[in-house]
Amino acid sequence: MCFNHPWRPAYAQCSYCKRYFCYADLIEYGKQEYCLEDLSRAGQPSKITKFTPNRFTYIASALFIVNSFLIFYFIYPQVSLITTQINHLGLSGFLKQLTYGSEVILLNMAFVVMGFISSISVLSNSGKRFGVSVAVLFMMAVFFSYEYVSTTSTGAPDYFLYVTIILLVNMLVLVLSRLSYVGGASEERFTEQIEWPKVETF
């Protein structure tokens, strides 16, 4: 029977206090029933910010692709050499005699792959993917800046500098892609609609 009205059959159990109530004393929220006393404990409506690709997002995606192609173009001879070594020595043999130079080339290859993936992920509405793309850009900028600075005395390859500049521009464009949203770009809505009980005469 209803906790508040013992003469009425219970309609459902409150999801918070686990007491039984009639239909008039319950509110459906988030596909669960709550009594009027415990409705405030059901949780707050969530604010959902929805982003859609704009011109800065497309530019950032294109810069990811340009950078990936640029890196791959300059490391292609080393990649061919590494591929030949793996074919002759096998993967386990290659890993046993891995040198610093080979590690750098492998890291470059990883950045090429991550760049292509990021070029697609930034076009989505996901804030997490946007954050991952920014993290990838930051790691790449730190790595290529270090490579450029550490090899200036021995004649640093120009592509280290080119890639670093493009990465910094790409990061700026990514930030602008989020800052360029004006009113109406984000919206606040309830994740679930509250169905208020019908007014009944007691």
What is the Cα 93 distance to its own chain's centre? 37
Give percent of the chain above pLDDT 70: 79
Which pLDDT belongs to residue 48? 47
**What confidence category does residue 190 fall into, taking pLDDT thresholds of 50, 70 and 90?**
very low
Question: How large is the average pLDDT for residues 20-34?
Answer: 86
Q: Are 6 and 22 in contact (CB under 8 A)?
A: no
Question: How large is the average pLDDT for residues 13-28?
Answer: 88
Q: Is the pLDDT of residue 202 over 60?
A: no
Task: Give the span between the Cα atoms of 186 and 125, in whole angstroms.
Answer: 11
pLDDT in tens, 74-88: 888 888 888 888 888
**What confidence category does residue 126 fall into, taking pLDDT thresholds of 50, 70 and 90?**
low
Regarding pTM above 0.75, the answer is no
The two three-digit tokens of residue 126, written as one number: 């996901």
Which pLDDT belongs to residue 108? 86
Which pLDDT belongs to residue 148? 76
Which pLDDT belongs to residue 10? 92
pLDDT in tens, 138-170: 888 888 888 777 776 666 567 777 888 888 888
pLDDT in tens, 57-67: 889 889 999 88
190-195 long-range contacts, CB within 8 A, separation 24+: 190/45, 190/46, 191/30, 191/45, 191/46, 191/48, 192/29, 192/30, 192/31, 194/27, 194/28, 194/29, 195/27, 195/28, 195/29
Q: Is the pLDDT of residue 183 over 70?
A: no
Which pLDDT belongs to residue 46? 42
Which pLDDT belongs to residue 189? 43
Taking only Cα atoms into account, the Rg of the chain, rounded to an integer number of angstroms, comes to 29
- Which of residues 151 and 54 earns the better pLDDT score? 54
Backbone angles phi, psi at 29, to 5 degrees: -145, 125
